Amino acid sequence: MTHDSSRFARAQQPASADDPGDAADLPEGEHRTESRVRLSPLDRDAPADRRETGVGPWPGGPEAWPIDPRYAPELLAEGDRRNVVDRYRYWSVEAIRADLASRAHPLHVAIENVSQDLNIGSIVRTANAFNVAGVHIIGRRRWNKRGAMVTNRYLDVRHHPEPDELLAWASGAGYEAIAIDNGPGSRPLEGEPLPERCLMVFGSEGEGIGPALLAGCSRLLRIGQYGSTRSINVAAAAAVAMHAWILQHGGPAPD
């Protein structure tokens, strides 16, 4: 899908010590100047939304802590302010990953990463919200995690240097690769039966899906639009497409 770029607007924003950015935003081989504030790795992976959420330390102190091994002692002691639903409060990352994996949907999502697209993080966050079985990054290994709100910690995120590797995995695992793009020959997503074992393929912002990856997809589907814009943002398109699959195969949400 030929998407409207969001990079230009970001590039026009002046840099400041309060918003030092992330090295992952830069093209490979470029670095921030020494005058910029350097953030620790933990800070760089922190959510952009810093409103206080969650719960404080477990009431009653260590004597009252649950003995369930899924609970993390450091969270019981200090509180849990992470961006997780209430049923996962105080659980360790490993316990959350295992629980999500045990009931993950047989939907996978693939994203081409040709320019460290800022939308990839948002797509990963949506994939976590719908509990897809895996996310595949094609091309550059390093991707911009800012929009993911650290949800990538709870997902199976894989890297494929070339499209052929991803397509070989899909064929071997019995997944049908379906491209989501508004290019020539595309059919409407609305009303289209989607396979249960589905690999949804998305291109990068601006460039769309590359020829090699597109050639390996069985279908090309587009999202119906009613306004004047030619296309919608790739992260928004991914959310719409994943939800279309959920409506067909996901069943009721657990909460």
CA distance 197 to 107: 6
Is 173 a residue whose pLDDT tops 80?
yes
The tally of CA atoms less than 13 A away on the side-chain side of residue 177 is: 23
Q: How much is the CA Rg of the chain, to the nearest whole Å?
A: 20
pLDDT digits (tens, 9 = 90+) for 7-28: 333 334 444 434 444 444 444 4
pLDDT digits (tens, 9 = 90+) for 129-167: 999 999 999 998 888 888 899 999 999 999 999 999 999
Identify the residue whose tokens are 């589907």: 221
Structural domains for the chain: 62-97 (no CATH), 104-250 (3.40.1280.10)
The pTM score is 0.78
